[in-house]
């Protein structure tokens, strides 16, 4: 696992050398997805680090909820309502695409079309006897396209430099160590409790909620260390890269090509909602773009932290989308 993370780190350093966007995340994705093609390399999926990494992201998201944020929470309500039709349209469009154009059976097409909640979709797929391997590869490919394309869209189309943003983090030397240790301890307890009560994305949402409470009440005021967030990016990049391990290259290419069609549909739907929301509400374009990006909860929030977007706005939209997707998915999967 350590060797795998070192491979991811090498990819990050190459991206830094060439001044490419989000080097710690994208560099590790590219390096790992290439390395897993070589079976003799002594590397393993560093899934042991996945839950701690999610806890760190949850705590970091929570740290952006300062007392001043409370003044704006109410203004998010009407924007959040647009997540309902956004989720419904993306699911229906994806279902039609995978069933009619790629020939998936209805159950597999339905769960492949879901915009988020990979782990939850796999659990439901096991219950209803859908094609788990296909769903995993399709969902991973969608995530890959979104995570890789977003930074380039932000930097080269919107013209926002995101190579070295440090908005809600700081260098480790400026961190209050006692506060940080306390935050991590309560974050771990919150993650375990959230898992126990079967909360969706428990290791992300549980720590995030407790971090929000502690930061809103100013019990904890120290920002998260930037170095730790860089490590988390390498972990996530390596994990994403490993989703292509053990799968024939021809199958990977076929799935990537098929999923790319769905990805283009998602871009079109997202674009329509971004235009509507930006014309109706006075939120910055970058935050709206990330709020209506159908990526994973942890991954989009990580990008939001790194690019200096309005994290509370984006986080709330993705929580609502995840809640809708997971609950709709389970209800209709049983009907199917």
CA torsion, points 309, 310, 314, 316, in degrees to nearest 10?
Answer: 160
Banded model confidence at residue 89, pLDDT cuts 50, 70, 90: very high
pLDDT, tens digit, for every residue of 199-237? 767 888 899 899 989 988 889 888 888 889 889 889 988
99, part of any domain? yes
Q: How far apart are CA 31 and CA 86, in angstroms?
A: 33
294, part of any domain? yes
29, part of any domain? no
7, part of any domain? no
If one counts every other C-beta atom within 10 angstroms of the C-beta of residue 44, the result is 13
Tabulate helix, strand, coil % of the chain (nearest 5): 75, 0, 25
1, part of any domain? no
How far does CA 205 lie from the centroid of its chain? Answer: 12
Banded model confidence at residue 23, pLDDT cuts 50, 70, 90: confident
Residue among 150, 174, 154 nearest 162 (CA): 154
Candidate from 79-83, 139-143, 231-235, 272-276 with smallest mean pLDDT: 139-143
14, part of any domain? no
Using left for φ > 0, alpha for ψ between -120 and 50, and beta otherwise, residue 84 falls in alpha
255, part of any domain? yes
The pTM is what?
A: 0.71
Total domain count for the chain? Answer: 1
Q: How far apart are CA 5 and CA 282, in angstroms?
A: 41
How many distinct helices (H) and strands (E) make up the chain? 16, 2
Of 245 and 267, the one with more pLDDT: 267
Banded model confidence at residue 174, pLDDT cuts 50, 70, 90: confident
Segment 69-90 shows an average pLDDT of: 85
- What mean pLDDT value characterizes the chain? 84
Enter the tokens of residue 41: 């390399």
Task: List phi, psi (to 5°) of 160.
Answer: -105, 120
Which DSSP symbol is given to 225? E
Which pLDDT does position 117 carry in this prediction? 66
Task: List phi, psi (to 5°) of 225.
Answer: -70, 135
316 near 309, Cβ under 8 Å? no
Task: List phi, psi (to 5°) of 96.
Answer: -65, -45
Beta-strand runs (E) in 206-273: 224-225
Instruction: List Cα–Cα distances, 251 to 9, 33, 133, 247, in angstroms.
Output: 27, 14, 11, 7
If one counts every other C-beta atom within 10 angstroms of the C-beta of residue 125, the result is 23
Could you tell me which residues come within 8 angstroms of residue 329 by beta carbon, excluding any fewer than 6 positions away? Answer: 110, 111, 114, 117, 120, 121, 124
CA torsion, points 256, 261, 265, 271, in degrees to nearest 10?
Answer: 70
Which pLDDT does position 18 carry in this prediction? 87
160 near 307, Cβ under 8 Å? yes
Segment 228-247 shows an average pLDDT of: 85
Enter the tokens of residue 106: 């209805």
Lookup result for tokens 């990330």: 290
Q: What three-state secondary structure class fits 169?
A: strand
Give the residue ranges of DSSP H helices in 129-166.
132-152
Lookup result for tokens 């480790």: 172
Instruction: List Cα–Cα distances, 220 to 53, 168, 183, 245, in angstroms.
Output: 20, 14, 8, 41
Of 306 and 110, the one with more pLDDT: 110
- What percentage of residues in the chain have a pLDDT greater than 90? 29
Residue 193 has pLDDT above 70, yes or no: yes
Which pLDDT does position 163 carry in this prediction? 54
292, part of any domain? yes
Domain around 271: 56-232+247-335
pLDDT, tens digit, for every residue of 154-166? 777 777 666 544 4
Which pLDDT does position 169 carry in this prediction? 66
Segment 310-319 shows an average pLDDT of: 83
86 near 277, Cβ under 8 Å? no
Residue 272 has pLDDT above 70, yes or no: yes
pLDDT, tens digit, for every residue of 285-305? 888 999 998 877 667 877 787
Q: How far apart are CA 1 and CA 259, in angstroms?
A: 29
């Amino acid at each position: 696992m350590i060797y795998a993370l070192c491979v991811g780190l090498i990819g990050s350093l190459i991206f830094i050398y060439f001044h490419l966007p989000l080097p710690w995340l994208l560099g590790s994705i590219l390096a790992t997805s290439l390395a897993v093609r070589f079976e003799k390399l002594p590397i393993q999926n560093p899934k042991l680090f996945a839950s701690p990494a999610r806890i760190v992201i949850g705590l970091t998201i929570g740290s952006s909820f300062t007392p001043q944020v409370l003044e704006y929470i109410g203004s998010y309500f009407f924007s959040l309502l647009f997540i309902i039709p956004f989720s419904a349209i993306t699911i229906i469009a994806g279902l039609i695409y995978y069933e009619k154009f790629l020939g998936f059976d209805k159950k597999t097409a339905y769960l492949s079309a879901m915009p988020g909640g990979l782990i939850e979709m796999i659990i439901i797929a096991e219950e209803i006897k859908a094609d788990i391997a296909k769903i995993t590869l399709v969902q991973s490919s969608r995530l890959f396209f979104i995570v890789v394309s977003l930074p380039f869209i932000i930097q080269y189309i919107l013209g926002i430099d995101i190579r070295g943003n440090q908005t809600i983090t700081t260098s480790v030397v400026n961190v209050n160590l006692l506060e940080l240790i306390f935050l991590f301890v309560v974050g771990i307890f919150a993650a375990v409790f959230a898992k126990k009560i079967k909360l969706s994305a428990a290791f992300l949402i549980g720590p995030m909620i407790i971090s929000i409470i502690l930061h809103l009440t100013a019990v904890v005021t120290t920002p998260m260390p930037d170095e730790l967030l860089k490590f988390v990016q390498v972990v996530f990049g390596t994990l994403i890269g490993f989703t292509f391990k053990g799968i024939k290259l021809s199958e990977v290419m076929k799935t990537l090509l098929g999923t790319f069609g769905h990805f283009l549909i998602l871009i079109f739907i997202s674009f329509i909602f971004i235009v509507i929301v930006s014309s109706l509400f006075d939120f910055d374009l970058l935050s709206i773009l990330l709020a209506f990006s159908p990526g994973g909860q942890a991954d989009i929030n990580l990008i939001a932290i790194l690019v200096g977007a309005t994290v509370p706005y984006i986080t709330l939209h993705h929580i609502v989308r995840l809640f809708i997707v997971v609950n709709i998915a389970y209800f209709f999967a049983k009907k199917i």
